[in-house]
């Protein structure tokens, strides 16, 4: 298929560009002063580990730590107050829930240093990621914000599928660094200059994907954002219901931002090409999921009728004559398509004993991607509907 060949060529380009950017030698950063901001909402079980990761990564005399509790309903407040006896930080306890954007905007007002790093309360920072963020901010021309991809901290099949999916996003965004700018930031870890954060209007309160909206507002001001290839560890949805809700929100938020900031991303040809291919993939994935579901339903119905009127052996022979060639062809196509995702599965293999993880390419390509495409398409349609709710002007401060 021509589409598969084009997709393969694009993936080769993505890997080359992201690798070229990653291996660039950058000067060591000068250990600038940093204001870390952790938003907390029902994160009583994980926030201590997040705080420890920050203290492990950086000299405590060089940073300010701000924790803002957005009126959590669990024991977060008690946990944070207890941690104040061990760690030094500013604790902002909001009397009512305002939402993540407003909470972070409020916390940013208390930041005393030039660089702010937002990190989620279920994410674990590491030295490699932090150093790369600071090096890019200090030494890359016009770069005012840097984000990091993630790897799931929780285990199970669904988080593994998400890790493969985000490996795709990780290398795709990395390829933008070399000649362009990433047009989305990642909530779980964002490093940004405070003055540019304020200049862009902070986080928009009406955006579904506030992180992507911030990246596009920065681009409208002719600033660049980059993504490190170093990952941080963070929690991901581990139930189908929570994953569905997250995917709908992110897909709709992405479409909302693309419509609102149309003039910005249309000026980035690489992003236009990738977005077009991605949307075509969504439509094709949804089409084949529905088509295969209908075909499978017809196959089951015919099989039941067939086995009611003949022997099992004769029934199997008839089924093979009717569906055999088609089944072989579909299986071959499925396996061929799976190889496209192979580069994104390989990072799962960390030693010879884990080489079996390459087999995750089969459920990812044949099951996860079609379902994922359908959900993303639903979310994109919802995002078109929600476009008119995104009214914040790039230079209007969101509060």
Residue 267 pLDDT level (bands cut at 50, 70, 90): confident
Residue 206 pLDDT level (bands cut at 50, 70, 90): confident
**Residue 188's closest CA among 129, 239, 252?**
129
pLDDT of res. 76: 95
SS3 of residue 261 by DSSP: coil
Question: End-to-end CA distance of the chain, in Å?
Answer: 50
Q: List, for residues 31-87, the tens digit of each pLDDT value.
A: 999 999 999 999 999 999 999 999 999 999 999 999 999 999 999 999 999 999 999
Return the higher-pLDDT residue of 196 and 11.
196
What is Dmax (Cα atoms) for the chain?
Answer: 81
| 338, pLDDT greater than 80 | no
What is the CA 201 to chain-centroid distance, rounded?
A: 23
- Mean pLDDT to the nearest integer, 113-132: 96
pLDDT of res. 126: 96
Q: List, for residues 282-309, the tens digit of each pLDDT value.
A: 666 667 667 776 776 776 777 777 777 7
Alpha-carbon distances, residue 354 vs 155, 158, 162, 357 (angstroms): 14, 18, 18, 6
Structural domains present in the chain: 1-24+113-392 (3.90.550)
**Residue 37's closest CA among 82, 67, 6, 2?**
67
SS3 of residue 209 by DSSP: coil
Partnered with residue 36 across adjacent β-strands are 65, 117
Return the higher-pLDDT residue of 340 and 198.
198
Q: 24: which 2 tokens?
A: 């660039």
Return the higher-pLDDT residue of 135 and 8.
135
Alpha-carbon distances, residue 317 vs 289, 297, 309, 328 (angstroms): 27, 19, 14, 15
Lookup result for tokens 């200090």: 138
């Amino acid at each position: 298929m021509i589409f598969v060949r084009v997709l393969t060529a694009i993936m080769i380009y993505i890997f080359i560009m992201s690798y070229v950017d990653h291996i660039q030698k950058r000067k060591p950063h000068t250990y600038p002063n940093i204001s870390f901001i952790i938003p907390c909402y029902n994160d009583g079980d994980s926030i201590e580990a997040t705080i420890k990761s920050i203290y492990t990564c950086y000299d405590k005399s060089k940073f300010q730590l701000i924790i803002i509790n957005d009126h959590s309903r669990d024991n977060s407040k008690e946990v944070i107050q207890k941690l104040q006896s061990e760690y030094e930080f500013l604790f902002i306890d909001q009397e009512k829930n305002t939402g993540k954007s407003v909470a972070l905007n409020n916390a940013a007002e208390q930041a005393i240093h030039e660089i702010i790093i937002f990190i989620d309360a279920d994410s674990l920072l590491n030295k490699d990621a932090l150093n790369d963020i600071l090096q890019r901010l200090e030494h890359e021309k016009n770069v005012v914000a840097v984000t990091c991809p993630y790897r799931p901290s929780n285990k199970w099949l669904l988080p593994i599928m998400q890790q493969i999916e985000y490996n795709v996003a990780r290398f795709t965004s990395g390829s933008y660094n070399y000649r362009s700018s990433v047009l989305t930031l990642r909530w779980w870890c964002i490093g940004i200059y405070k003055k540019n954060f304020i200049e862009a209007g902070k986080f928009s309160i009406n955006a579904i994907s506030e992180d992507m909206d911030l990246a596009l507002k920065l681009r409208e001001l002719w600033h660049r954002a980059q993504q490190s290839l170093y990952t941080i560890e963070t929690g991901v949805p581990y139930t189908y219901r929570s994953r569905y809700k997250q995917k709908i929100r992110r897909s709709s938020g992405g479409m909302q931002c693309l419509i609102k900031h149309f003039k910005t991303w249309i000026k980035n040809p690489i992003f236009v090409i990738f977005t077009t291919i991605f949307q075509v993939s969504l439509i094709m994935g949804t089409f084949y999921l529905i088509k295969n579901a209908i075909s499978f339903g017809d196959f089951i119905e015919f099989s039941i009728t067939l086995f009611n009127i003949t022997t099992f052996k004769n029934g199997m022979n008839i089924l093979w004559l009717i569906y055999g060639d088609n089944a072989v062809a579909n299986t071959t196509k499925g396996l061929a398509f799976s190889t496209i995702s192979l580069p994104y599965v390989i990072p799962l293999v960390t030693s010879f004993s884990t080489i079996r993880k390459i087999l995750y390419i089969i459920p990812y390509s044949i099951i996860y991607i079609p379902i994922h495409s359908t959900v993303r398409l639903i979310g994109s349609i919802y995002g078109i509907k929600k476009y008119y709710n995104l009214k914040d002007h790039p230079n209007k401060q969101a509060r």
